[in-house]
Amino acid sequence: YPWDKSSLKSMPVDLQQFEKLDAYALKVNVKNSVEELVKALLKQARTDLEKVRAIWMWICHHIEYDIVGYHNKSQLSSKPIDVLQTGKSICEGYAGLFEQMCSIAGIQCMKLSGYSKGYGYKMGQTFTGDSDHAWNAVYLDGRWHLLDSTWGSGVVDDSFTKFTFRYNEFYFLTHPALFINNHFPDNSNWQLLKPTLTLKDFENNMLHNSNFYMLGLLTAHPETAVIHTVNGKASVSVDCRSATLFTFKLKGTDEHGLMTLKKHGMKLDIYPQKTGSHKLQIFAKPSKASEEVYNCVLEYVVECKSVDKAMRFPKDLHQPVGPSWFTERQGFLRPSHPDPIIHTNDGRCSVTFTLGKDISVLASLHSDNSSLTEDMRRRHIMQIHRGNQIELKIHLPHAGNFVLKIYAKKKSDPGNYDYIFNYLITCLNTEVKWPAFPQSYSKWAEDYEILEPLSGLLPANRNVQFKLKMHGIAKVLVQAENTYPLTQSRGYWEGTCNTSGCREVFVMVHENANHSFYSHVLKYEVETQ
């Protein structure tokens, strides 16, 4: 039966109700006979489900995987009594001991064998010859359920030299639609699925390890392990229950992709910059997790036939790209540009947000082939505040791909700004060459606004019109070769100034009519003749 996504188990199980039983089962220490062990375990178990649980818990925490035995099977006994007394075995012994303990407890149990995508599995491989793994089915509440105590007990390292006990709840009564992902029984009836999968389906299907489901992820597209690029691009998406953070690695780096977080998942577009086969790994962690640890949840192979050179991203681009539920949580609401890429033809764009309370913003512009200093690049962005709205006006210094990075901090915090997110801005028009905005000084208040001139570079020997929105000041002067006062009307200070005979133009304000002290608020350069 198909998976309805509501539970990872094949029957309702309340793990909290097992807490006492689990703790009891872990403490039972009987090694002389399987019968005695079962008798001791059942003291605290009433229902069939509780009996199975007690047996499962005991095996998962007391039998270790026998790596030496695996390499030297002729010396190995998988008889339940030998497994119990040595405390180690391979899957065959785990499943055999489980079967015998259930039988003593009066529960129907089968030992199953088949192919598995476990240790040593290579993506896209085919399965031939004898089965390589064993597990169990138990009969509870009128139907069969699947479990794998070998995989429930722990993990072996990559070099297959060391076993570590690491209990995994996932393999206890796993939903058959999820169990089939890495267990293919010799007898297809034991898939407990309708319709059953063919071996070919099993080989081609994406391997979701238990992390995938335990993190609340639901589905991934594509469902096959090998992805072929189309015009240099491959796409992957993941759906999940709740807010989850993702990262990825293509051949070990996250440079050649564009990942966006969605409310219920993520979308990733990959643009490999070399042809051939590339390993793509996707990692996830719950948004609430305090640890920095991301778990690998998916692996693909990307087969790239051709490279899309136009999609070479700047080094400074940070994943994920664009706004999301995450940036909303940081106080950036209602973005004017919900997509990660902003295309501009004339080299100008403007991004607006509604800001949460008490947030101060810093933005910077980055590009791989820019000769400008960081300070100069920052002057190609102008912040305009209107109430709780912020607008970032951007005038690009040249064509190309740019990263707009956005940082924030609480106004009340004395500390540094934290990086929040970034956009990719692309401009193909090679005619584009915007000068920087004028330089502003500390007396230029957050909610002041320049209507004109926006360019920080003024033409020489010209009359230039000024229009500035400022409040709470007594006088405004523009100082060039001569000094020109601006006049106030309807909240704006306006006037003209002549740029002849000077290299710089300053805007100065008089905060109080009784003082003769002026503060510089803006500085413009004048073009040389």
* Residues assigned a catalytic role: 91, 133, 148
Beta-ladder partners of 519: 509
Q: Residue 371 carries which side chain, given as an amino acid letter?
A: S
Q: How far apart are CA 252 and CA 406, in angstroms?
A: 26
> Locate tokens 């598995």: which residue?
116
Strand partners, 238: 220, 266
Is 482 in contact with 515 (CB distance < 8 Å)?
no
The encoded tokens of residue 234 equal 């491959």
Distance (Å, rounded) from C-alpha 101 to C-alpha 109? 9
Please report, for residues 121, 130, 175, 417, the alpha-carbon distance to residue 133 in angstroms, rounded to integers and kept in the order given: 12, 9, 19, 53
CA proximity to 336, closest of 361, 320, 319, 354: 354
β pairing state of 88-89 and 64-65: parallel
Sheet with 226-228, strands from edge to edge, namely 226-228, 295-304, 276-286, 244-250
> If you compute the radius of gyration of the chain from its CA atoms, what whole number of angstroms results?
33
**CA quadruple 196, 201, 206, 207: dihedral sign:** positive
Tokens of 494: 């306006």
How many whole angstroms separate alpha carbon 11 and alpha carbon 34?
A: 28
- Report the distance separating Cα 517 and Cα 522, nearest Å: 16
Residue 112: both structure tokens together: 């199953």
Q: Which residues pair with 330 in a beta bridge?
A: none
Composition of the chain by helix, strand, coil, percent to 5: 20, 40, 40
